[in-house]
Chains A and B, each alone.
Chain A
């Protein structure tokens, strides 16, 4: 299958995402922020970075990029859109996902391993997991504290739209080990149609044991399986 990877000038996880996609045996195409053509992508990834510097508010400028018009239309048509870190911030700013990402409660940037509990398998991104699975995936952000009003939080919980929650290594509630102080320990959410996922942690950094964890690969494989039905090419087949 084909993953489209958005490239804003300040994006830096684009190459990491391409690496993960290719490791999973799929095709990656880079989508330049000034273009509108999604080049036939089956799933569009909005990767991590500082899209246009994020000096105002993370993602606040990126939502107006030409590429984002196409991404929004694609999402509204049911296309798979996956926002990671800065991508999650952009999706919230673009109102493709509810809530907002604010400064970490520590008021400091945090780069560290986190443990995520899969809270729903009812999405293309998590269908390959089991509910309650723990994934070790690192975070790297200064503005990752998920906030929303009570009503929205209640709706997200009711509709089981929380995709991942930060937990401790043993699966218990994150408490003071939360990397950012997110409400309800939310690490990722999906939209009502369940075709748009935003998450702060970086699964593309957790696709090889050499780098500490391969749990992130399960999400890439899950998307591929959902799209093609028949699953991914075996790793290395592209060589």
Chain B
């Protein structure tokens, strides 16, 4: 029975997370009041999570074209041409809100969701990465979230057999209440088998395959589009439960059908469940769809049409096929013991119709449903930024450089991640060439000499200080990680995690961050092919710092020519590519030593950045380098120590070679631990020095040799002299729970 609303009450609107003015816009577009089901469906599709009503007007700034791009934003994932007739399909997506409530299932289903986005395109997933942010591990709740998320990622990825090859992990006060879980997946498909999610052909049928539909995850999309509050824990039913084994079966069956002419379109069920997926599928194809909820197999009895349409039960997929092909497709799924129901038919006109058996329960214009959410502009003028904190009044610790090195490399943000990634299968698939722990992961592509370098990056301390500048740095740093392996950056996916965009400062940060990504991607000629926006990471008025996570894929034509981050041979020289400066603003040193995040973030000269990356790529291609490591958090000293740890060999650095720099706050701290951009620490055989100087001259990049590789100590003459074993011990223990 359909219930007509005699004007929706505030409580009705709050339940579906629509504003009064959005409701009025709906009624105007519809020419009538919606019924309760229609209101719920519109609420889900007009949620920020589905409609991008805040971010869509801004995302147009991003460059999305390039010679390699096969599929830009708009499909389930982006795709780029990597040669050999293959496409690399990838995307990053957030699962922040569910993970904050139920960390294991929240993270697990985040992995499940991003995997489906990839295999829906016909691509076999070959790598997963996770970008995680938590509050400091000084309270049990943070341990609970951190352990639960790591276990959930492992529980899903390990079971389904896709390696988790990399990612990043940061702890910061800003995530104490709202943690961030962003999952990225990369897949490979022959270009001819690339599958789209665009329905066509009126009269064609839609199969719902996989899990039965239950009450889990109802309102998940709306839930992810509002601020969390004290009631959020009671929304636990809005968090879905994952079944990785079922997804494995679904994945294998769908991959069998990739490129099969019987499959007209494939679309996974994610946010807003059956409702979101059917609407998107039909809308992309410019047709309509009629769904009969009575035909969907249920996990529970007594479910209403509303619950069936909005359920976010996991591990489900839609397949569009001609009526004559349905039976033979169902046989493929049966081989994998997967159940399938014909739940919908494609309509010629752009309507979104739902029936419960014979009874019509919803009839909405598809355009209004999918594209009708009124976009939201700036909630107010750009606020004036607070004046940068004056560092002069802040006490400086009396750490020696050596003490500072050990404190930094043993800190939660710079310490070893081995205790995390050893809980993930990072080798299944026989393709992981560079294991977790280096700059970017490197996986080879079966049947070719190709390697794909994959990295995620994003430093929220920089974006908190300057969103545009910080976002540019995130792109550059991801690119540096890729370049350090010898791979050329191919394309970007991004995940934009922000607080409540109804606040002007947050909205403008979002605006500026997107502008920053656009500027850096344009300058480096790296298109953005997919992405995700997660807003309302805010609880009770406390929001996260703006957090831009860049996922980048690069292509290395011959994986045997890869470069790694660890020092290699005794007697090699150590060099620094890029500027020597003393910028401590936003640095990890500043966090540990001063307990603040202040000052301008490090300067970025995007032209220099491009030249530096060009230099390193050419040096690796020419076989001149024995190692290359991005110089990032913790500065030169940490980069050198990390190269020592990775190579299990010491190094000696002459302090004179580092120069004295300007504006030192704490002796040599700025030089050693400042996070100036556009830098790599490299090592090479002595004989390569002359050619490297020539090459540096040709690329107009600063290059100097700093010292040499060898021994079992990390030495910077006159200020640091510590055994590698001691460095390793503090590094290894950084995340281990202390009694």
Interface of A toward B, CB cutoff 8 Å: 9-13, 15-16, 19-20, 48-50, 52-55, 108-112, 138, 140, 142, 202, 204-205, 207-208, 210-212
Report yes or no: A53 in contact with B430, Cβ–Cβ below 8 A: no
Question: Smallest Cβ distance from A155 to chain B, in angstroms?
Answer: 33
Report yes or no: B159 in contact with A9, Cβ–Cβ below 8 A: no
Report yes or no: B245 in contact with A211, Cβ–Cβ below 8 A: no
Q: Quick check: is B295 within 8 A (CB to CB) of the other chain?
A: no
Sort A-B residue pairs by CB-CB distance and give the 5 closest, nearest first.
A12-B161, A53-B245, A16-B430, A140-B425, A50-B159
Q: List 19 A-B contacts (CB under 8 A).
A: A9-B245, A9-B249, A10-B248, A13-B161, A15-B430, A19-B446, A54-B159, A109-B154, A109-B158, A109-B424, A110-B422, A111-B421, A111-B423, A111-B425, A111-B427, A112-B422, A204-B430, A205-B427, A207-B430
**Nearest residue, chain A, Cβ from B562:** A210
Residues of B within 8 A of A20 (CB): 430
Residues of A within 8 A of B91 (CB): none
Q: Quick check: is B611 within 8 A (CB to CB) of the other chain?
A: no
Q: Which of B243, B423, B430, B560 has the most CB of A within 10 A?
A: B430
Question: Smallest Cβ distance from B77 to chain A, in angstroms?
Answer: 21
Q: Quick check: is B529 within 8 A (CB to CB) of the other chain?
A: no
Report yes or no: B430 in contact with A211, Cβ–Cβ below 8 A: yes
Interface string of B225-250 (1 = CB under 8 A from A): 00000000000000000011110110
Report yes or no: B430 in contact with A111, Cβ–Cβ below 8 A: no
Q: Quick check: is B433 within 8 A (CB to CB) of the other chain?
A: yes
A177–B337 Cα distance when bound, in Å, is 41
Report yes or no: A9 in contact with B248, Cβ–Cβ below 8 A: yes
Cβ < 8 Å to A, chain B residues 237-293: 243-246, 248-249, 252
Report yes or no: B422 in contact with A142, Cβ–Cβ below 8 A: no
Report yes or no: B158 in contact with A211, Cβ–Cβ below 8 A: no
Report yes or no: B159 in contact with A111, Cβ–Cβ below 8 A: no
Report yes or no: B159 in contact with A53, Cβ–Cβ below 8 A: yes
A20–B429 Cα distance when bound, in Å, is 11
Report yes or no: A9 in contact with B252, Cβ–Cβ below 8 A: yes
Report yes or no: A12 in contact with B248, Cβ–Cβ below 8 A: yes
Q: Quick check: is B336 within 8 A (CB to CB) of the other chain?
A: yes
**Nearest residue, chain B, Cβ from A11:** B161
Report yes or no: B245 in contact with A140, Cβ–Cβ below 8 A: no
Q: Quick check: is B480 within 8 A (CB to CB) of the other chain?
A: no
Report yes or no: A49 in contact with B161, Cβ–Cβ below 8 A: yes
Contact of A142 among B158, B160, B429 (CB under 8 A): B158
A48–B337 Cα distance when bound, in Å, is 20
A110–B433 Cα distance when bound, in Å, is 19
**Nearest residue, chain B, Cβ from A16:** B430
Report yes or no: A10 in contact with B433, Cβ–Cβ below 8 A: no
Interface string of B411-449 (1 = CB under 8 A from A): 000000000011111111111110100000000101000
Q: Quick check: is B101 within 8 A (CB to CB) of the other chain?
A: no
Interface of B toward A, CB cutoff 8 Å: 151, 154, 158-161, 243-246, 248-249, 252, 336-337, 421-433, 435, 444, 446, 559-560
Contact of B427 among A53, A140, A210 (CB under 8 A): A140
Report yes or no: B158 in contact with A9, Cβ–Cβ below 8 A: no
Question: Smallest Cβ distance from B181 to chain A, in angstroms?
Answer: 18
**Nearest residue, chain A, Cβ from B124:** A15
Report yes or no: A13 in contact with B428, Cβ–Cβ below 8 A: yes
A49–B161 Cα distance when bound, in Å, is 7
Report yes or no: B430 in contact with A19, Cβ–Cβ below 8 A: yes
Report yes or no: A109 in contact with B560, Cβ–Cβ below 8 A: no
Residues of B within 8 A of A13 (CB): 161, 428
Given contacts A10-B159, A16-B429, contact A210 B422 (CB under 8 A): no
A202–B433 Cα distance when bound, in Å, is 16
Given contacts A12-B160, A111-B425, A140-B428, contact A210 B444 (CB under 8 A): yes
Report yes or no: B428 in contact with A52, Cβ–Cβ below 8 A: no
A11–B428 Cα distance when bound, in Å, is 11
Question: Smallest Cβ distance from B602 to chain A, in angstroms?
Answer: 35
Q: Which of B245, B424, B429, B432 has the most CB of A within 10 A?
A: B245
Residues of B within 8 A of A109 (CB): 154, 158, 423-425
Chain A-chain B contacts (Cβ-Cβ < 8 Å), number: 84
Report yes or no: B245 in contact with A210, Cβ–Cβ below 8 A: no
A124–B243 Cα distance when bound, in Å, is 38
Residues of A within 8 A of B424 (CB): 109, 111
**Nearest residue, chain A, Cβ from B560:** A210
Contact of B245 among A10, A110, A207, A212 (CB under 8 A): A10
Residues of B within 8 A of A16 (CB): 428-430
Residues of A within 8 A of B336 (CB): 9
Report yes or no: A211 in contact with B427, Cβ–Cβ below 8 A: yes
Residues of A within 8 A of B159 (CB): 10, 50, 53-54
Further pairs besides A49-B161, A110-B422, A111-B158: 14, Cβ < 8 Å = A9-B248, A10-B248, A10-B249, A16-B428, A53-B244, A54-B159, A111-B422, A111-B424, A207-B430, A210-B433, A210-B559, A210-B560, A211-B427, A211-B430
A212–B444 Cα distance when bound, in Å, is 13
Residues of B within 8 A of A108 (CB): 151, 422-423
Question: Smallest Cβ distance from A137 to chain B, in angstroms?
Answer: 11
A48–B429 Cα distance when bound, in Å, is 11
Report yes or no: B435 in contact with A212, Cβ–Cβ below 8 A: yes
Report yes or no: B426 in contact with A53, Cβ–Cβ below 8 A: no
Residues of A within 8 A of B435 (CB): 212
Question: Smallest Cβ distance from A103 to chain B, in angstroms?
Answer: 13
Residues of B within 8 A of A15 (CB): 429-430
Residues of A within 8 A of B421 (CB): 111
**Nearest residue, chain B, Cβ from A53:** B245
A1–B102 Cα distance when bound, in Å, is 50
**Nearest residue, chain B, Cβ from A110:** B422
Report yes or no: B444 in contact with A140, Cβ–Cβ below 8 A: no
Question: Smallest Cβ distance from A97 to chain B, in angstroms?
Answer: 23
Given contacts A9-B248, A19-B430, A211-B430, contact A53 B425 (CB under 8 A): no
Residues of A within 8 A of B245 (CB): 9-10, 50, 52-55
Question: Smallest Cβ distance from A107 to chain B, in angstroms?
Answer: 10
Given contacts A53-B159, A111-B422, contact A12 B430 (CB under 8 A): no
A205–B433 Cα distance when bound, in Å, is 11
Residues of B within 8 A of A111 (CB): 158, 421-427
Contact of B423 among A11, A110, A202, A207 (CB under 8 A): A110
A50–B428 Cα distance when bound, in Å, is 13
A208–B559 Cα distance when bound, in Å, is 13
Residues of A within 8 A of B161 (CB): 10-13, 49-50
**Nearest residue, chain A, Cβ from B246:** A53
A130–B63 Cα distance when bound, in Å, is 59
Residues of B within 8 A of A19 (CB): 430, 446
Contact of B158 among A52, A53, A140, A202 (CB under 8 A): A140
Residues of A within 8 A of B426 (CB): 111
A140–B157 Cα distance when bound, in Å, is 12
A140–B429 Cα distance when bound, in Å, is 12
A167–B664 Cα distance when bound, in Å, is 50
Question: Smallest Cβ distance from B560 to chain A, in angstroms?
Answer: 7
Q: Which of A11, A55, A112 has the most CB of B within 10 A?
A: A112
Report yes or no: A12 in contact with B432, Cβ–Cβ below 8 A: no
Residues of A within 8 A of B429 (CB): 15-16
A213–B49 Cα distance when bound, in Å, is 45
Residues of A within 8 A of B444 (CB): 210
Question: Smallest Cβ distance from B739 to chain A, in angstroms?
Answer: 16
A142–B150 Cα distance when bound, in Å, is 14
Question: Smallest Cβ distance from B556 to chain A, in angstroms?
Answer: 13
**Nearest residue, chain B, Cβ from A18:** B430
Residues of B within 8 A of A112 (CB): 422
A188–B248 Cα distance when bound, in Å, is 28
Residues of A within 8 A of B428 (CB): 12-13, 16, 48, 140, 205
A52–B336 Cα distance when bound, in Å, is 11
A16–B154 Cα distance when bound, in Å, is 20
Residues of B within 8 A of A205 (CB): 427-428, 430
A142–B432 Cα distance when bound, in Å, is 20
Residues of B within 8 A of A210 (CB): 433, 444, 559-560
**Nearest residue, chain A, Cβ from B147:** A108
Residues of A within 8 A of B243 (CB): 53
